[in-house]
Each structure stands twice: as structure tokens, then as C-alpha cells.
Chains A and B, each alone.
Chain A
Amino acid sequence: MDIRKVTSEKNPVQMKKKENLLKYIINNRYLYLLMLPGVIYLIIFKYVPMYGVIIAFKDFSFAKGIIGSPFNNFENFKTLFSSQDFYRILFNSVYLSIVKIIFAFPIPIIFAIMLNEVGNKKFKRITQTIMYLPHFISWVVIGGIVVIFMSADGGLINEIIKKLGYQPIPFLSSESWFRAVVIITDVWKEAGWGTIIYLASLTSISPEYYEAATVDGANRWQQILYITLPCISNTIIILLTLKIGGLMTNGFEQIYILQNPINMAVSDVFETYTYRVGLANTQYSYASAVGLFQSIIGLILIYCTNKIAKMFGKSTIY
């Protein structure tokens, strides 16, 4: 076997001698060549501007630019950590992300599996297409429709509740309902779109498995549990890892649209906070410091999740 055997994960080639390195690269030259354009792209478009990160440690001045602006002794971070809103925002952001992972993340998986079980091709095609439509409608519009449904003053849902003889529920203006509304609207808008990746993953399952299982007497529930789910578990874990890496981020638009002074105590997250600070004043450096904080935590989280996945012998992102 030559050194190309590296392509097999099961037999890693031991590389000990230095002189072998050149030979190694020559032997794998095509692989390195293939990734070269991507790596050059990475360096030029992502790493050349990366020096901008230091702005978070500086007191940015337009005249002096990023390099020339003076360092300000972590002043931006001190301001952030001493801000009375910071811990509330941190809590809100993380809490919201966690409930989203618990309640919204599994929905596309369930829909994908259900779609997989649907036998009627026409039904499947049509519903699949429809489910993916809301992804294209902006949050501004969705926000308007949400008011039509959930308003406590003439909203369709509350009209029904009133007809049934109950008190209307202030979905949009109570702290306790805010997270539920975020999850419901998130599922509504994005769950259909989210199924696509699982559907792609499902295509690789060979029908033979199901046939064999049927012969063995497994019912369809068992097939879902023992064939379908394990086959897409890799994709699930990867997406979950990425989601956990994004624990500090909640996206701006949805939250901003659903936010109002009454639910602000629970709805204020990093994105809306940075937006507010940015509106009020320049504070480039400060906004960058907030972003950097989010990023560092995100990176740590994704690293840990990956470690845990590895520990359980699951597929990992790297």
C-alpha cells in the first residue's frame, strides 16, 4: 500500500520521519491542490480583514483608523460587564436559545420523518413546497400577521377564546408568553425550511433496510426508531452542535419585531441591545466588544459540544 492509504480512516499511516513529509505531500498533491482555492479564499476574504477584531480593545477614532486608534485598557469590556443590563441580556439570550433548542429544534426532524412516511407522492410534493414558503416572507410581514392572530384586541385566536367564554390572553404583551410566541413563530416560519437538510440526509437510506426489517416483522414505528433515526443521527448531531455554538445569538429581526416595552424585561437580547447602543451613538468599539464576547463564548461552546459528542462516539464536526 502506498501512502495514499490515508484516505481510509481505519488505517492511519504513521508519519514519523521528516523526509517523508515531502513525499507525503507529493503523494497527496491532488488533495492539497483541491483545497488550495478554498484556502486562498479563506485567507484573503476572512483572515486579511481579521485585524479588525482589535477594534474591541480600542477607543476607535475615525481619523486614526483601526490600527492607529489607541488601546483603551479593556474599557469596552469593563463597560459591558458593569452595564446594569448585561446580566439580564446574557440570561435572556441563553435562556431563549435553550428553549428554542428544546422545543423548536426537534420539529423539523419530526416533520422530515413524517414526510418520509407519507406514501402519497402528490400530497408530499405539495405540502413540502408549501411548508417552505414562509421562509421567504420577511419578519416584518410575519409580525403583522402575528398581530392579526394573537392580538388581545380583536385577534382571531382571542376572539375564539372569548367566544368559548374565557378571558383573552395577552400573547404579545406578557413576559410569560414571549418565549412561547418566539418559538411558535419560529417553527411556523422556519420549520419547513429546516426539514430540507434532513430530507437530503434521508435520501441516502437504502430501501433494502426497510424491506429487510419488514421481513423480520418490525412495524413502522420500530423502523422509524431503528432505521430512519439512526441514519440521520449524524446530521442531527452536527446541526445540534452548530445550534449550541450559536447559543449567544438569537437573530435580530424576529426578536425586534416581537419586542415591546411590556415584554422588554425578557425579550432584550444581545442583538437588540447592540442595535440600541448603535442607534444612540457611534461606539463602534463597544459594539465590537459585545460581538467579540458573544463569539468567544460561542467558540467555547462549540468546542465543548464537539468534545462531548466525541466522548459518546458520535459524529463530530471536526
Chain B
Amino acid sequence: MKKSKIRVIGAIVCSLIVTASLSGCKNKTEVVTETNGGKKEPLTITMVHRLDAAFVLENNPVIKLLEEKANVKLKLEVPPVTDYVNRVNVLMASGDLPDLIHLQNIDAKYQEYAADGLLIPLDDYFKNTPNINKRTLPEQLEQARVEKTGKLHSVPRPHESSTFIALFRKDWFDALELKAPQTIEEFEKVAIAIAKGDPDKNGKADTYFMSLLPGIESEQLLSGAFGVRDGLTPDANGKVTIAEGQEGFIKLMDFYKKLYAEKAIDPEWYLNKTYGDRDKFKQGKLAMMTNAAKPNELVGVTVKDLVKAFPNAKIDYFLPLKDATGKRPVYLSPSTWGTFAISNTAKDPKRIMEFLDWTFSDEGIEVLNAGVKGVTYESFDINTGICISPESMLDARTKYISPYMSFITSVKGKRIMTPGNTDSERKTVSAAVEDYYKNVNIVNTVPSSFAAGFTDAEKKLTDIKNTRDQYVAKYIIGQISKDEFVKFINEKFLPANKEVIGALQKYYDTKIKK
């Protein structure tokens, strides 16, 4: 009895599935016609891309121009930006792959997709991509190398190198007759003076010098001066290690602890989620905005909002601090922002690569970064990065152009588009960038993930990294003693990272030392 019932149900299920899938077949046939003069027929490329919601897809003149110039038909699939990774995962697992896939990060997942054969190796194609080769640094391209196959499985999007500066409230500094700090000692003095001085003159001790973000407390602005090196930069004995394994790290934490005790650091910094510290800066609670602030932010929204709310606010910046020898060490590894890969189901990888190469060409850069002449901009100079676009085109610009849509945002570490809408804004940013490159001591390095086995070893460390963040936070706010903290770092954290450190050392010894 029961069996027959199951059989009946099974039959119903099957028939339902069959009818449902049959009924859907009609709309699946694709029609690709349209021939273009003497040219080859345009190549239809299906692509999954991560584009922000403000970017309009329908009747977008920029996409139209791109299709025309590159002789392609772009069929974009655009999952939500916030959950992009989930969607890509499902696509990868289901085998429903579009031809061209944008991956948000070059990470363990990327390695896995490629090693599983879902993304084709592109090494051979790179011979015929002059524009990509010209505008991508070898260290940027190298990030796409997959450990298991030893090949390059994607074209990374070259991005601006991390030029971290500190933005500060010039008006507050002036009111207390303070100068932008250049050394650790000056930094400390200024921080305490701000904490004690009530720079906004409201009679309340509600302003602080700075805030921090949990998990990324150690940033280049201070860490270089404290002698914290990059994971692949050796000490005097030729040893490399992660930040926590270096002497300077504990010193830096001690420094934070001291500033916290002096109320120079926001007392509830550990509650900050993404952007939390920026919001506090905007609200006139902090004298300094740090967390990965770049020169372009001198004219960015955070500063503009701040000035709108507090018309007296003046903003200036200072560079990473000097160390004991008077240098400003900054560890620079070329950045990328996601990557573009071709799936194993793509029919014509060669032409897709040609398309990608086109996006790196002068013409491609102009279309994707500046848009359509007369609609989104008036003039664009690829060498200076100056794009003139009047206020009346602002609406079209926000709708039809997006950095998410561009395939290359920076050349050799420097932004293609000089930030700023007016000449004076552009000057401010350019001057800061120039100042940065002139006055910091750049130590060129490569991402730690280059070290074979590094990514795999790091994957296993989720637990201990989380514990580390707890210890750091508790140490800075004075909930645990130095002994406890140092003991944790030396006896728990570093041993857990043995494999990671080993991978770094091995890579350094075999690849960099030579």
C-alpha cells in the first residue's frame, strides 16, 4: 500500500517537473542577428558583474557606445552588490556560467573556482593583449595566479595603491595652536592636547582625537613609524613574519593604550562597524579621520558633509609619521579591485580577451571612465586624468557611469580619473598625492597571498584571529594586563600562525631574496 502511494506521488512529481520544464523551453532560444557593415558580427558576451544600484542599465548610452566601439553585445546579469558573493557561488555550483565573470575578491574562493576548472587559464592569451600588459603591473597580474594550476585564471582590475594619509580638523588645531604631527612624540602631544583642550568649545569633554576600527587597528599611518613591517619585508636578520610577531606591534598597542587612557581615543571605538569612525568624524566628535583615508577624500563626501554641518570646519592632512631615523616607511604592494575571469563554458575566449584588452585601451578607458562626450563629459585627457564635466551633466554621470563598471581604475598605482569636480579640488588632491609620493619612503613589496600555502594556512585561522581582536581591544581599553596580552600573542597567536609565517619565510627565501 505505502509503496504504491509513493509511486503515485513520484509519478505526479515527475510529470510536474517535466511539464514545467517543457513549458519554459520556448523563451530560451537566443536570437543573435545584426551584422555590422564590413565588420565581424558583434560578439555576444554574457557577463555577471557587480554594479551599484545607482548605475542604470536600461538604455544606458555608455553601454551602447561601448558595444558599438568594441563590437560586442553585452548581456549583463547584475546581482545585488551586497550579496554578490552568494549569487556567484550559486552560479559556480550550478554550472550556469556566463562567459565573463567578475569576482569581487581574489581570495580562497577564486583559487577554488579556478582549481576546479571553472575558470580557464589565460596565460596564452596574454600574448595578444598589449593594452592589458601595458597598463597592468606584473605584481597586479601575478595576484591572479592560482596556486594549484600555476596559471593566471583572470584579469585583475588594477587599482590605486594605498596612499593612506590622515585628515584632521585644521580649525581645531589652530584654536589650540597645534601643528600637524610628524613624529610619534608630536602625535602623542597633539592627541592629548586635543583631548584636554575642548577644541569645539562646547564645555563638554565629548571630543576625541581619533577613533579606531576593530580588527584593523594597525594601519600604516602609525605602524611604519613603530617599525611594524609588511609580512614579506625582512628584518635585519632576513626573517619575515606577520605584524604581530614583530617588536613594533606591542609598542604600537602600548601607544594606543596610553592614548586611550588619556581619553584621546574615542572611548567606545570598539563599537564601530564599517564607516562608524567616519561618521563620528563627520559629526564633529573627532579631530582626525584615519582608517584608510586617501587624498581624494580631501574633497570627498565625508569632508563635504562635515563642512556643510559645521561651516567653520577646515580640513588639512598629514603624512604617515616619521620613525626614529626620520624616515616615513610605507609598505606598498600594488592593489587590485576584484578580477575578471572567463568561464569554461565561454565559446570564444579569444574574442572575449580581445574585448577585455579593449577596455584597457585609451578608447576603452575613456568610454568606461568618462562616458559619452556631450552626455556625461565635455573633455577628458587620459594623461592628466582631468575630466571636465559641467554641473548640468551630474545627473547623467551618476546614472550612466560608475567605477564599478570600469575594468581599470588606475594605471601603475595612480588613479586614471583625478578626483574632484573643479580645478581647485583637483589641485588639492593632486598636490596631496604628489606630496605623499615625494615624502614617504616607499618599500615595495608584494601581497602576502603570493606565498605558496599562505591562503590555505590562513583559512584555518578564523577562530584565533577573532580571539586576537578581542585581546587587542581589551588590552587597549585596559581590561587585561600587558602580561596576559603578550602571553596570548607569544604563546597562542604566533604558534597558531606557524604555518602562515613558514609560508612567508619560504617565499621570501626562494623568491624575493634573490
The reply, when asked whether chain A contacts chain B directly with Cβ atoms under 8 A, is yes
Binding site for B on A (CB under 8 A): 21, 39-40, 43-44, 48, 61-66, 83-85, 147, 151-154, 172-173, 260-262, 264-265, 268, 276-277, 280-284
Pick the residue among A44, A48, A62, A173 that contacts B116 (CB under 8 A): A62
Contact A281 B108 (CB under 8 A): yes
Contact A280 B268 (CB under 8 A): no
Quick one: given A84-B463, A173-B270, A281-B459, are A63 and B472 in contact (CB under 8 Å)? no
Q: Which of B9-17, B69-77, B234-242, B320-328 contacts A (4 or more CB under 8 A)?
A: B9-17
Whole-angstrom distance between the Cβ of B109 and the nearest chain A Cβ: 5
Q: B469 — which chain A residues lie within 8 A by C-beta?
A: 261, 264
Whole-angstrom distance between the Cβ of B407 and the nearest chain A Cβ: 25
Contact B268 A264 (CB under 8 A): no
Name the interface residues of B246-268: CB closer than 8 Å to any CB of A.
Answer: 266-268
Q: A66 — which chain B residues lie within 8 A by C-beta?
A: 93
**How many angstroms between the C-alpha atoms of A70 and B284 in the bound complex?**
57
**How many angstroms between the C-alpha atoms of A254 and B117 in the bound complex?**
39
The DSSP consensus for interface residues of chain B is: helix
Instruction: Answer yes or no: B92 CB below 8 A from chain A CBs.
Output: yes
Contact B267 A153 (CB under 8 A): yes
Interface centre among B9, B271, B464 (most CB of A within 10 A): B271
Contact A153 B9 (CB under 8 A): no
Q: Which of B286-294, B308-316, B473-481 contacts A (4 or more CB under 8 A)?
A: B473-481
**How many angstroms between the C-alpha atoms of A61 and B116 in the bound complex?**
7
Instruction: Answer yes or no: B462 CB below 8 A from chain A CBs.
Output: yes
**Chain A proximity mask over B452-476: 1 for CB below 8 Å, otherwise 0:** 0000001100111011011011100
Q: Which residue of A lies closest to B469 (CB)?
A: A261
Q: Which residue of B lies closest to A155 (CB)?
A: B268
**How many angstroms between the C-alpha atoms of A21 and B2 in the bound complex?**
11
Q: A147 — which chain B residues lie within 8 A by C-beta?
A: 271
Q: Which residue of A lies closest to B95 (CB)?
A: A65
Instruction: Answer yes or no: B18 CB below 8 A from chain A CBs.
Output: no
Whole-angstrom distance between the Cβ of B119 and the nearest chain A Cβ: 10
Contact B13 A43 (CB under 8 A): yes
**How many angstroms between the C-alpha atoms of A264 and B117 in the bound complex?**
39
New contact pairs (10) apart from A65-B95, A84-B463, CB-CB < 8 Å: A44-B17, A61-B112, A151-B268, A153-B268, A262-B477, A262-B479, A276-B462, A280-B462, A281-B462, A282-B89
Contact A282 B109 (CB under 8 A): yes
Instruction: Answer yes or no: B118 CB below 8 A from chain A CBs.
Output: yes
Q: How many residues of B contact A (CB 8 A)?
A: 40
Contact A43 B470 (CB under 8 A): no
**How many angstroms between the C-alpha atoms of A276 and B469 in the bound complex?**
13
Pick the residue among A62, A84, A260, A280 that contacts B112 (CB under 8 A): A62
Q: Which residue of B lies closest to A25 (CB)?
A: B1
Q: Which residue of B lies closest to A174 (CB)?
A: B479
Q: B1 — which chain A residues lie within 8 A by C-beta?
A: 21
Instruction: Answer yes or no: B79 CB below 8 A from chain A CBs.
Output: no
Interface centre among A62, A85, A154, A264 (most CB of B within 10 A): A62
Contact B470 A40 (CB under 8 A): no
Contact B268 A40 (CB under 8 A): no
Contact B270 A261 (CB under 8 A): yes
Instruction: Answer yes or no: B318 CB below 8 A from chain A CBs.
Output: no
Q: B271 — which chain A residues lie within 8 A by C-beta?
A: 147, 151, 172-173, 260
Whole-angstrom distance between the Cβ of A44 and the nearest chain B Cβ: 6
**Chain A proximity mask over B403-433: 1 for CB below 8 Å, otherwise 0:** 0000000000000000000000000000000
Q: Which residue of B lies closest to A84 (CB)?
A: B463
Contact A260 B270 (CB under 8 A): yes
Contact B206 A154 (CB under 8 A): yes
**Chain A proximity mask over B110-127: 1 for CB below 8 Å, otherwise 0:** 001100111000000000
Instruction: Answer yes or no: B42 CB below 8 A from chain A CBs.
Output: no
Whole-angstrom distance between the Cβ of A18 and the nearest chain B Cβ: 8
Q: B479 — which chain A residues lie within 8 A by C-beta?
A: 262
Whole-angstrom distance between the Cβ of A73 and the nearest chain B Cβ: 18
Q: Which residue of A lies closest to B263 (CB)?
A: A153
Count CB-based A-B contacts (< 8 Å): 89
Contact A40 B9 (CB under 8 A): yes
Whole-angstrom distance between the Cβ of B35 and the nearest chain A Cβ: 37
**How many angstroms between the C-alpha atoms of A152 and B267 in the bound complex?**
8
**How many angstroms between the C-alpha atoms of A154 and B17 in the bound complex?**
60
Instruction: Answer yes or no: B245 CB below 8 A from chain A CBs.
Output: no
Interface centre among A151, A262, A284 (most CB of B within 10 A): A262
Contact A262 B118 (CB under 8 A): no
Pick the residue among A39, A61, A85, A281 that contacts B9 (CB under 8 A): A39
Those 9 A-B pairs whose CB atoms lie nearest each other, nearest first: A261-B473, A63-B116, A281-B108, A62-B116, A281-B459, A85-B463, A261-B470, A280-B462, A261-B469
**How many angstroms between the C-alpha atoms of A62 and B148 in the bound complex?**
15
Q: Which residue of A lies closest to B266 (CB)?
A: A153
Q: B473 — which chain A residues lie within 8 A by C-beta?
A: 260-262
Q: B9 — which chain A residues lie within 8 A by C-beta?
A: 39-40, 43
Contact A48 B92 (CB under 8 A): no
Pick the residue among A63, A268, A282 that contacts B118 (CB under 8 A): A63
Q: A84 — which chain B residues lie within 8 A by C-beta?
A: 463-464
**How many angstroms between the C-alpha atoms of A147 and B1 in the bound complex?**
62
Instruction: Answer yes or no: B61 CB below 8 A from chain A CBs.
Output: no
Jot down 28 A-B pairs with beta carbons below 8 A, ordered by A: A21-B1, A40-B13, A43-B13, A61-B116, A62-B92, A62-B113, A63-B116, A64-B116, A65-B95, A151-B268, A154-B206, A172-B268, A172-B271, A173-B271, A260-B271, A261-B215, A261-B469, A261-B473, A262-B473, A262-B474, A262-B477, A262-B479, A265-B470, A276-B462, A280-B108, A280-B458, A282-B89, A282-B112
Instruction: Answer yes or no: B447 CB below 8 A from chain A CBs.
Output: no
Q: A39 — which chain B residues lie within 8 A by C-beta?
A: 9
**How many angstroms between the C-alpha atoms of A63 and B477 in the bound complex?**
48
Name the interface residues of B342-394: CB closer than 8 Å to any CB of A.
Answer: none
Interface centre among B113, B467, B472 (most CB of A within 10 A): B467
Q: A262 — which chain B residues lie within 8 A by C-beta?
A: 270, 470, 473-474, 477, 479
Contact B270 A280 (CB under 8 A): no
Instruction: Answer yes or no: B214 CB below 8 A from chain A CBs.
Output: yes
**How many angstroms between the C-alpha atoms of A261 and B474 in the bound complex?**
8
Interface centre among B206, B463, B472 (most CB of A within 10 A): B463
Q: Which residue of A lies closest to B476 (CB)?
A: A261
Whole-angstrom distance between the Cβ of B4 and the nearest chain A Cβ: 11
Contact B117 A63 (CB under 8 A): yes
Name the interface residues of B155-209: CB closer than 8 Å to any CB of A.
Answer: 206
Q: B470 — which chain A residues lie within 8 A by C-beta?
A: 261-262, 264-265
Q: B462 — which chain A residues lie within 8 A by C-beta?
A: 276-277, 280-281
Contact A260 B118 (CB under 8 A): no
**How many angstroms between the C-alpha atoms of A105 and B13 in the bound complex?**
41
Q: A268 — which chain B residues lie within 8 A by C-beta?
A: 466
**How many angstroms between the C-alpha atoms of A40 and B15 in the bound complex?**
12
Pick the residue among A21, A85, A260, A283 that contacts B214 (CB under 8 A): A260
Q: A264 — which chain B residues lie within 8 A by C-beta?
A: 466, 469-470
Whole-angstrom distance between the Cβ of A171 and the nearest chain B Cβ: 11
Q: B472 — which chain A residues lie within 8 A by C-beta?
A: 261
Q: B13 — which chain A residues lie within 8 A by C-beta?
A: 40, 43-44, 48
Quick one: given A40-B9, A44-B13, A63-B118, are A173 and B268 in contact (CB under 8 Å)? yes
Q: Which residue of B lies closest to A154 (CB)?
A: B206
Whole-angstrom distance between the Cβ of B344 and the nearest chain A Cβ: 9
